[in-house]
Structure 1
Amino acid sequence: MPADHGASTLAEDLLLLLFQPDSAPPGPAGATGESTLAHALAGAVLTELGLGRHVRTVPDGVGAIRLEVVAQHPPADDILRHAWDYLARGPRGIPAALDAIGPDLRDPLVDRLVGRGDLRRSHRTALGVVDVETFEDGGSGRRERLLAAVRETVVEGARPQPRIAALAALLSASGTLPQYGPGIPWTAAVVARAKKLEQESWGATATAAAIARTVTAAVAGHL
């Protein structure tokens, strides 16, 4: 039975969506490069800290924003707490925070997805000597549900919940949304809705929306 790790984080949901069962070998990076993956996952972490009101924005004096923690309001989740502790050392610009937080996220997030049963991990030997880690869909159905919610938002124009809007915006900013066809056709209407999600508040607080917009712009800038 899969281990119970509680509610999933936005970064876990994003990584699960980025899992590409048809890639060779199938894996959570899918068609996106590791650098882009790291920044996208870090963007999801920062966005969730904003949605949870664990961080706030402060001006940096040159027209951009920095993030600082809300004192005495750390997140309960260990991965989010690690990012919060980093920001607690002092306000950080979002690009710097993405660079610092992103590289260490993939492995613990994969472990959570495997532990929850969303992914199934196995190993095989390549060329007789190299141990290659491979993944399959775990059969939980959660990836399909998340993808259906994103599809309703960007294809059908449904009004999304903040977390789904954030997922769609991060997929768009990371350049990975086109790989979900034909279910999510890369049409002009879909592109327009996805770009709009990168820039709108979608029901989040003003602070969370400002963080999310800056995060998605920074993720897109790393492509």
Structure 2
Amino acid sequence: MTTEPRSNAPTIVEDLLLLLFQPSSGTIAGENTLFYVLGGAVLADLALGENLSTADRGRLRGVPDHPPSDGLLRPAWDYLAEKPRGVQTALAAIGPALRQPVLERLIARGDIDEESRKVLGLFRTTALREGRTERRSRLLADVRQVLVDGAEPQARVAALAALLSASGTLPQFHREIPWTSSVISRAKELERGDWGADAAAEAVTRTVTATVVNSAVAAIIVLPRG
């Protein structure tokens, strides 16, 4: 069941899962490492919303009395408000429960459609296909402008591009985002928090987000890909 209440604006974790959705196959790219990436997106959203701060030894904590307004993000803030946590500990605790409620939101928004099909005329199954909103195309265009055209990103787009890079799935976007040395280099810059002067985020927010993304990268590297 989708966590409520929710804000009208999509969260970064919704945008990330929508980008990872592959309309041609109806699948989600990077399923084997998905929970780390989605957890990273939630933490990035909290960082950009100034709901997180850093504690000693690079740990994260929820800013007291400043919870997020969106219910999808609230469990992560509650967890981090209890006491400071290491980023990888937080990713492992937050990420596994995210896929289904985030997917339900995308379906409810019309960004992804869900349809029932019969297999062999007997068994009913559910398939996913691209929705009617065209929001995925717009998000992909935003990321392409940053990675390919060299545009300075808004903080949200910078976080999305960095998390896509962290997921290891960027090569699968080769038709829209050519997998070139310049794209790889720019993606790594975004992972490190080098977003450019126009990215509207305070230095501490960039630092937290970069820490989240790099911890996601470190966790994902040691996991099997599939």
TM-score by length of 1: 0.90
Indicate which of 182, 186, 193 corresponds to 2:179: 186
Post-superposition shift, 1:77? 0.2
The one of 187, 193, 199 equivalent to 1:200 is 193
Name the counterpart of 1:142: 135
Query: 1:82-129 deviations in whole A, cap 9, x for unaligned?
Result: 110111111110000000000000111111101111010123344666
1:87 alignment partner, SS class:
helix
Query: Do 2:42 and 2:76's aligned partners in 1 also have CA atoms closer than 8 Å?
Result: yes
Unaligned segments of structure 2, at least 5 residues: 1-5, 222-226
Q: Aligned runs of 1:98-177 on 2, under 5 Å?
A: 98-126=91-119, 131-177=124-170
CA distance in 1 between counterparts of 2:152 and 2:106 reads: 27
Query: Match for 1:84 among 77, 101, 111?
Result: 77
* Contact 2:47-2:208 at 8 Å conserved across structures: yes
Kindly indicate whether the alpha-carbon contact (under 8 Å) linking 2:142 and 2:157 is maintained by their aligned counterparts in 1: yes
Letter paired with 2:188: K
Which residue pairs with 1:46 in the alignment? Answer: 43
Mapped to 2, the partners of 1:19 and 1:100 lie a distance apart of 23
**Partner SS, residue 55 of structure 2:** strand
Of 15, 18, 29, which aligns to 2:17?
A: 15
**CA deviation string 1:147-186 (max 9, x = no partner):** 0000000000000000000000000011011111122100
Q: Which moved more, 1:160-169 or 1:175-184?
A: 175-184
Contact 1:122 1:133 in 2 (8 A): yes
Q: Equivalent residue for 1:33?
A: 31
Q: Helix, strand or coil for the counterpart of 1:92?
A: coil
Identity over aligned pairs, percent: 49
Equivalent-residue separation in structure 2 for 1:88 and 1:118 (angstroms): 32
Structure 1 residues 93 and 128, CA gap change in structure 2 (3 angstroms): farther
Match 1:57 to one of 9, 29, 54: 54
Look up the equivalent residue of 1:8 and give its one-letter code. P
Mapped contact 1:5–1:116 kept (Cα < 8 A)? no
Structure 1 contact 58–68 (Cα < 8 Å) conserved = yes
Partner of 2:63: 70
Count of equivalent residues: 211
Aligned to 1:79, the other structure's residue is in SS state coil
In the other structure, the counterpart of 2:3 is none
- Return closer, same or farther for 1:201/1:188 CA change in 2, 3 Å cut-off: closer
Matches of 2:217 and 2:123 in 1, distance apart? 34
**Which structure 1 segments of 5+ residues have no match?**
none
1: CA distance, partners of 2:211 / 2:20: 21
For the Cα contact (< 8 Å) 1:5–1:112, is it kept in 2?
Answer: no
Instruction: Indicate the RMSD between aligned Cα atoms, in angstroms.
Output: 1.6
Task: Please say which of residues 144-153 and 178-187 is displaced more in the overlay.
Answer: 178-187
State the secondary structure of the residue aligned to 2:152. Answer: coil
